[in-house]
C-alpha cells in the first residue's frame, strides 16, 4: 500500500486554518489530522485529546527528550508539538495527514520531510486578520497582541512555502486547497 502524504497548513493565528481544516475533513473522509500536544491552557469548549493533548511543561520537556515529536516549537509563550508515532502510523496505513502548525514547526518538517505538501494561508488583509482574531473572542488582549506581532514575521515567510492560499472566501479557499492536494496526488502517482 502506498504511504499517504504529509500536508502542512501554516499561517498566522486567526487566519482561519482551523476553519479550513474542519471543512476539508468533512469533505474528505480519508484525510486524517494530527492532534498536537500543547502547554497552553484549554480555551472554553476545548476538549483534551480532541483539540489538543494538554500537558504541563515538565511532561512536554520529557517528550522532547524522548524524541516523541516529529516537530515542536514555542509560540506566544507556550510549547506545541506533533506526536511522532500516530502520524507515522496514519501515513503507513496509506492515509494523508494534515498538520496545522506554526512557521518554525513547518520549517522543521521541510528539513525532515522534503516531500510534504506545504501550504501557507494568507489573510485577505491585515485588518481582516485582526478582526478575525478579535472576533473569535477566545484570547485576551495580551495574547492577541503577541499573535499579531508574530503574524508579521509569519506572513513575511509565506514565500518559503510551495503554495500560498488567501482565505478570503472560505468556500473558494477550500476549493483551492483541494486542487493543490489533487495535483500533489497526481504528481506522486506519476513519479
Give me the residues that bind ligand 5GP (CB under 6 A), please: 13, 17, 36, 40, 71-73, 75, 80-82, 100-102, 104-105
Residue 132 binds what, of ligand 5GP, ligand ADP, none (CB under 5 to 8 Å, by partner type)?
ligand ADP
Question: How far apart (Å, rounded) are the C-alpha atoms in residues 117 and 163?
Answer: 8
CB of 126 to ligand ADP, least distance (A): 14
User: Which is closer to ligand 5GP, CB of 17 or CB of 132?
Assistant: 17
User: Which is closer to ligand ADP, CB of 5 or CB of 132?
Assistant: 132
Q: Coil, strand, or helix at residue 35?
A: coil
Question: How far apart (Å, rounded) are the C-alpha atoms in residues 53 and 125?
Answer: 32
User: Which is closer to ligand 5GP, CB of 164 or CB of 185?
Assistant: 164
Question: How far apart (Å, rounded) are the C-alpha atoms in residues 131 and 80?
Answer: 24
Q: What's the burial of 174, exposed, middle or buried (CB within 10 Å: 0-12/13-18/19+)?
A: buried
Residue 101 binds what, of ligand ADP, ligand 5GP, none (CB under 5 to 8 Å, by partner type)?
ligand 5GP
**Which residues bind to ligand ADP, rule: CB under 6 A?**
11, 13-19, 132, 135-136, 167, 169-170
Q: How far is CA 187 from CA 110, 142, 157, 183, 190, in A?
A: 18, 44, 25, 6, 5
Amino acid at each position: 500500500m502506498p504511504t499517504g502524504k504529509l500536508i502542512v497548513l501554516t499561517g498566522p493565528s486567526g487566519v482561519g486554518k482551523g476553519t479550513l481544516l474542519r471543512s476539508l475533513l468533512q469533505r474528505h473522509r480519508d484525510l486524517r489530522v494530527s492532534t498536537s500536544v500543547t502547554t497552553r491552557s484549554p480555551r472554553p469548549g476545548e476538549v483534551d485529546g480532541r483539540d489538543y493533548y494538554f500537558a504541563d511543561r515538565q511532561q512536554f520537556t520529557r517528550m522532547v527528550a524522548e524524541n516523541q515529536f516529529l516537530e515542536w516549537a514555542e509560540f506566544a509563550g507556550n510549547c506545541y508539538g506533533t506526536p511522532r508515532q500516530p502520524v507515522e502510523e496514519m501515513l503507513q496505513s496509506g492515509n494523508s495527514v494534515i498538520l496545522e502548525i506554526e512557521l518554525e514547526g513547518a520549517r522543521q518538517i521541510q528539513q525532515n520531510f522534503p516531500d510534504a505538501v506545504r501550504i501557507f494561508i494568507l489573510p485577505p488583509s491585515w485588518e481582516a486578520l485582526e478582526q478575525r482574531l478579535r472576533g473569535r473572542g477566545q484570547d485576551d488582549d495580551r495574547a492577541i497582541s503577541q499573535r499579531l506581532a508574530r503574524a508579521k514575521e509569519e506572513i513575511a515567510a509565506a514565500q518559503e512555502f510551495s503554495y500560498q492560499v488567501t482565505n478570503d472566501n472560505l468556500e473558494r479557499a477550500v476549493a483551492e486547497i483541494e486542487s493543490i492536494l489533487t495535483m500533489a496526488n497526481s504528481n506522486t502517482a506519476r513519479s
